[in-house]
Amino acid sequence: MQRQSLKFTIRLNREQNMVNDLTVPSHLISMEGEPTIPNSSTLGGSLETTPQDPFSSMEGEETHNVGDEENQAENAQNQLVLYDPSVAIEAVPDSVAHQPPSFSRFPFSIQPSRVLPAVGAFTVQCANCFKWRLIPSKEKYEEIREHITEQPFLCETAREWRSDVSCDDAPDLVQDESRLWAIDKPNIAKPPRGWERLLRIRGEGSNKFADVYYIAPTGKRLRSTVEIQKYLEKHPEYIEEGVTMSQFSFQVPKPLQENYVKKRRPHSAPSCNAIDHGTSAPDPSKAITWVVSDEDTNLQLGGWAGLSTPILEHESQPAKKKRTPTKHRFNGNLVYNQHEVSVEQSPQL
């Protein structure tokens, strides 16, 4: 029945300031290894109901549905939220904001990045009341995510960093349309000590939602299990320290927004018609929300990116050059691939 979700928020960087680092903690994602067995509690299906949120005004559709389980199920579990830093921060209830030192500012380091949306904060959904609770650090989030099925998250769990919070308190955030939401995978192993797992969210319209990278202690960036394996072979010292392949997972969260990721086009259909560009284009007036979830376990980790900006406005001039003309041929909205571009450019916030 209850399902919980973890989410982290991401913020997009519009400028450079961003967040990159916010990259979603990799941990959010589950490791390939074996997932733990889900307990009934997490998996279950029902969803959550979300109360109204205090801080945000969005309408939100919350996740509710208690009754139906299906859809929601997914959402409810672990979700990662990505959001705009500024937004996110404000959204944090005061109580939270004050508490841990880490809350007031992002625990993650921010580096200038080029532009893509990044995770700015992490949240997890209470298995009992389904309210989302902000997690003060990426490390804590990874910890929770790693054992989310065996140890469902409860509001009481948050007392570790936020004294007296309970299910009676308003949610720290509400899943609404103001941000991009992504559902994270449960039970992803924490990276080995000295290693870092980075989640890079791609821009809207890309053919993939995100990429996971592991940064080895030497600073080497590894992008697949094959690369990790080769790296470990060359550096047996890590193996001696106990590093194993089961500690790495390249699973990425899934965006809730259906059209965030471009669908793969059937090769055969080069015609423009076949493509749906536009219709699904996000409403520029609102931020994008995405959520990723693990269907198997039903856990959701959430993340949202509050872009206030429309990611796509066609216009945009690409910040980067595009390399493939093909896609753009359908211009119009389609071109979102570059959305990142627009994101960064957008001044908002």
Partner DNA sequence: GCCACCGGTGGC
- Give min distance, CB of 341 to DNA, in A: 8
Comparison of 98 and 329: residue with beta carbon closer to DNA = 329
Phi-psi region of 18 (alpha: psi -120 to 50; beta: other; left: phi over 0): beta
Q: Does 333 engage in binding with DNA (CB under 7 A)?
A: no
Q: Does 319 engage in binding with DNA (CB under 7 A)?
A: yes
Which of 162, 179, 277, 327 lies at the binding interface for DNA (CB under 7 A)?
327
Rounded Cα–Cα distance for residues 105 and 107 (Å): 6
Burial (Cβ within 10 Å: 0-12, 13-18, ≥19) of residue 35: buried
Comparison of 57 and 274: residue with beta carbon closer to DNA = 274
Comparison of 105 and 320: residue with beta carbon closer to DNA = 320
Rounded Cα–Cα distance for residues 165 and 67 (Å): 26
Which of 138, 200, 277, 314 lies at the binding interface for DNA (CB under 7 A)?
200
Rounded Cα–Cα distance for residues 63 and 232 (Å): 42
Q: Does 206 engage in binding with DNA (CB under 7 A)?
A: yes
Rounded Cα–Cα distance for residues 29 and 42 (Å): 16
3-state secondary structure of 302: strand
Which of 207, 244, 246, 331 lies at the binding interface for DNA (CB under 7 A)?
207
Stretch that binds DNA, among 51-59, 120-128, 198-206, 278-286 (CB under 7 A): 198-206
Comparison of 194 and 270: residue with beta carbon closer to DNA = 270
Picking from 49, 80, 52, 90, the residue whose alpha carbon sits closest to that of residue 67 is 49
Q: Does 63 engage in binding with DNA (CB under 7 A)?
A: no
Rounded Cα–Cα distance for residues 6 and 138 (Å): 11
Picking from 225, 227, 157, 234, the residue whose alpha carbon sits closest to that of residue 189 is 225
Comparison of 271 and 323: residue with beta carbon closer to DNA = 323
Q: Does 279 engage in binding with DNA (CB under 7 A)?
A: no
Q: Does 113 engage in binding with DNA (CB under 7 A)?
A: yes
Give 282's contacts (C-beta < 8 A, 6+ positions apart).
204, 257, 259, 260, 288, 310, 311, 312
Are the beta carbons of 130 and 103 closer than 8 angstroms?
A: no
Which of 211, 231, 278, 330 lies at the binding interface for DNA (CB under 7 A)?
211
Comparison of 135 and 252: residue with beta carbon closer to DNA = 252
Q: Does 329 engage in binding with DNA (CB under 7 A)?
A: no
The residue written with tokens 């669908």 in the block is 263
Comparison of 64 and 145: residue with beta carbon closer to DNA = 145
Stretch that binds DNA, among 74-82, 89-97, 162-170, 203-211 (CB under 7 A): 203-211
Q: Does 74 engage in binding with DNA (CB under 7 A)?
A: no
Q: β-pairing, 79-81 with 210-215?
A: unpaired
The contact set with DNA (CB under 7 A) reads: 20, 32, 113-116, 200, 202-203, 206-208, 211, 221, 223-227, 250-252, 254, 263-264, 266-267, 318-324, 326-327, 337, 340
